[in-house]
């Protein structure tokens, strides 16, 4: 058994969960679930980033103490992930005392390595972003993200010698044989990082003198840890750094960090450099997804078009939401969620194709087989063709191409619907009852096989299908047997099936 540690970014609690958070988190969940079925030991981490000026301001604006405010928002994230069936193994919060202690311990290690120095810093700081911007990064003098003028801030800070790591980082990214090689996907993002690393890289200010809501530096308590350093360290502190070195040894390095492209630099440059400085291993892979618009417009509070996970669940159900978010456009590219197109896609793929397949199949088994699984025979009229589609899921998921993986599942569904049309069991029931039983038997076995592939993407649907098949054992265990041991899709003859309400009512 191998270990697979994968993470979402920790989400900043200046806002309650929206569709962007859900997008990254559901994608990560699909991978976590998939690798569990492949027999890997998985650790799936998500959480919330709770320090910084913006949080202190947000709490003050609501007349709340910062911790109380963070508790409330963190709870909303946890609830949203529960509602979306996100199967994270842990949820880290940066205000947890253990995290704060671990951050201080890491900083102390950096300090002792001699990679920290004190200097005067003056720069343009976007309070919304919690970061300084170089002149050439600003657009018309404004923060490129927030379109607000940055504040000029000047103070004594502690700096991390990021520039010392520029060449090693460049080698680690570009040279596959480098001992610290790590991958960045998609390649366009990797090239972007390489391009920037080939230019000058400034040292990084890792502390603030003016911020109170954060973790004090262990050697100078008048300074607070820069919120990004605090946040990045969650990937280590969540697995027990530094108190539980054995656990860290077991799980580190992470196999995969997922994130949106706006935080690529922090993960592809600052994070590996911090790890190099303390002689720790680097994560294996970083995958960066794109930005999306909603009905052609950027999602923003001021536009009033922010979509919350609860809105999506209300409209499309849990699995409908999971399906629609991952099938709309390639993961890694920018895209648009058009609500009319989402409804069309829901009706076509889920209501008409998948929902209809399940509902008509169990209706026929009820009508023509007395709601019992017919005895096995060795007929393979459609099984190979269905399997040919389903097997593509593996390759697509290896490359995080969720939309192709889902398209392969829907193609398998369409093959089964075509098989039903072609065989017309309702006619066979009158003219050749034994043939009708054989056709429906093959159909049920294919549906069972399909439920294994559905589970990572649409766990509730997979379980509903499982129940209709009359299965009483554990779906995940069955799927693991199938994937890991190449076990057969067994289906006991005479098993009573349980037809249920349609899975995806038409919209």
**What angle, rounded to 10 degrees, do the helices at 19-37 and 66-83 form?**
50
Q: Which segments within 217-337 are labelled E, that is strand?
A: 224-225, 256-260, 285-289, 292-294, 297-298, 335-337
**Which strand (E) or helix (H) includes residue 232?**
helix 227-232
Helices (H), 38-135: 53-61, 66-83, 97-112
The CA distance from 494 to 478, in Å, is 19
φ and ψ of 198, to 5 deg: -75, -20
Comparison of 139 and 424: residue with beta carbon closer to Zn ion? 139
Q: How many residues bind Zn ion (CB under 5 A)?
A: 6
Does 143 bind Zn ion (CB under 5 A)? Our answer is yes
For residue 186, is the peptide bond before it cis, meaning its omega torsion is within 30 degrees of 0?
A: yes
Which residues are annotated as catalytic? 18, 21, 126, 129, 143, 146, 298, 301
Sole window of 44-52, 105-113, 146-154, 350-358 interacting with Zn ion (rule: CB under 5 A): 146-154
Q: Which residues are CB-neighbours of 491 under 8 A, at least 6 positions away?
A: 373, 376, 441, 444, 445, 448, 469
Per-residue binder mask for Zn ion (CB under 5 A), 58-97, x = binder? ----------------------------------------
The CA distance from 120 to 472, in Å, is 67
Does 262 bind Zn ion (CB under 5 A)? Our answer is no
Does 129 bind Zn ion (CB under 5 A)? Our answer is yes
From the list 488, 456, 451, the residue with the least C-alpha distance to 467 is: 451
User: At which residue do the structure tokens 């269905």 appear?
Assistant: 386
Residue selected from 3, 118, 146, 507 as contacting Zn ion according to rule CB under 5 A: 146
Sole window of 22-30, 145-153, 444-452, 485-493 interacting with Zn ion (rule: CB under 5 A): 145-153
Comparison of 150 and 470: residue with beta carbon closer to Zn ion? 150
Does 227 bind Zn ion (CB under 5 A)? Our answer is no
Per-residue binder mask for Zn ion (CB under 5 A), 148-167, x = binder? --------------------
CB of 189 to Zn ion, least distance (A): 20
Residue selected from 145, 167, 262, 398 as contacting Zn ion according to rule CB under 5 A: 145
Does 116 bind Zn ion (CB under 5 A)? Our answer is no
Sole window of 5-13, 31-39, 143-151, 499-507 interacting with Zn ion (rule: CB under 5 A): 143-151
* Parallel, antiparallel or unpaired: strands 256-260 and 204-205: unpaired
Comparison of 128 and 153: residue with beta carbon closer to Zn ion? 128
Does 137 bind Zn ion (CB under 5 A)? Our answer is no
The CA distance from 298 to 263, in Å, is 18
Residue selected from 105, 128, 278, 495 as contacting Zn ion according to rule CB under 5 A: 128
Comparison of 145 and 422: residue with beta carbon closer to Zn ion? 145
The answer to whether 252 touches 283, Cβ cutoff 8 Å, is: no
Comparison of 119 and 148: residue with beta carbon closer to Zn ion? 148
Residue selected from 126, 288, 386, 450 as contacting Zn ion according to rule CB under 5 A: 126
Residue ranges in contact with Zn ion by CB under 5 A:
126, 128-129, 143, 145-146
């Amino acid at each position: 058994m191998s270990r697979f540690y994968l993470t979402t970014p920790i989400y900043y609690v200046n806002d309650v969960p929206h569709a962007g958070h859900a997008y990254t988190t559901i994608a990560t969940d699909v991978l976590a679930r998939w690798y569990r079925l492949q027999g890997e030991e998985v650790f799936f981490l998500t959480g919330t980033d709770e320090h910084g000026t913006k949080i202190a301001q947000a709490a003050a604006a609501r007349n709340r103490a910062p911790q109380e405010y963070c508790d409330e928002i963190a709870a909303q994230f946890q609830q949203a992930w529960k509602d979306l069936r996100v199967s994270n193994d842990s949820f880290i919060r940066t205000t947890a005392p253990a995290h704060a202690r671990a951050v201080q311990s890491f900083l102390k290690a950096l300090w002792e390595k001699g990679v920290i120095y004190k200097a005067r810093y003056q720069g343009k700081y976007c309070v919304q972003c919690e970061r300084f911007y170089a002149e050439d990064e600003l657009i018309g003098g404004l923060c490129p993200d927030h379109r607000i003028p940055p504040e000029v801030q000047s103070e004594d800070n502690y700096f991390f010698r990021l520039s010392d790591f520029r060449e090693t980082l460049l080698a680690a990214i570009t040279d596959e044989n480098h001992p610290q090689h790590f991958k960045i996907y998609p390649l366009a993002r990797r090239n972007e990082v390489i391009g920037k690393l080939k230019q000058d890289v400034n040292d990084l200010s890792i502390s603030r003198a003016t911020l109170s809501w954060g973790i004090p530096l262990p050697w100078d308590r008048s300074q607070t840890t820069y919120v990004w350093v605090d946040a990045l360290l969650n990937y280590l502190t969540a697995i027990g750094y530094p108190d539980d070195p054995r656990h860290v040894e077991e799980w580190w390095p992470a196999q995969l960090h997922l994130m949106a492209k706006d935080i690529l630099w922090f993960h592809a440059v600052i994070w590996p450099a911090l790890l190099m400085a303390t002689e720790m291993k680097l994560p294996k892979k970083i995958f960066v997804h794109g930005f999306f618009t909603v009905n052609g417009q950027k999602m923003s509070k001021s536009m009033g078009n922010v979509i919350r996970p609860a809105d999506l669940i209300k409209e499309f159900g849990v699995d409908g939401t999971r399906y629609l978010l991952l099938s709309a456009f390639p993961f890694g590219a920018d895209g648009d969620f058009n609500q009319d197109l989402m409804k069309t896609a829901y009706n076509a793929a889920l209501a008409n194709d998948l929902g209809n397949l399940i509902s008509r199949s169990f209706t026929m088994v009820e009508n023509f087989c007395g709601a019992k699984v017919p005895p096995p025979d060795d007929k393979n009229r459609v099984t190979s063709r269905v399997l040919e589609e389903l097997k593509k899921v593996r390759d697509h998921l290896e490359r995080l191409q969720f939309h192709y993986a889902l398209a392969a599942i829907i193609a398998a569904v369409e093959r089964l619907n075509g098989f039903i049309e072609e065989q017309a069991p309702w006619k066979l029931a009158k003219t050749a009852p034994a043939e009708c039983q054989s056709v429906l038997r093959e159909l049920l076995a294919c549906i069972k096989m399909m439920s294994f592939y559905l589970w990572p993407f649409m766990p509730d649907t997979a379980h509903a299908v499982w129940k209709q098949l009359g299965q009483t054992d554990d779906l995940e265990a069955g799927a693991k047997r199938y994937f890991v041991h190449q076990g057969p899709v067994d289906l006991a003859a005479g098993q009573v099936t349980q037809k249920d309400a349609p899975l995806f009512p038409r919209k």
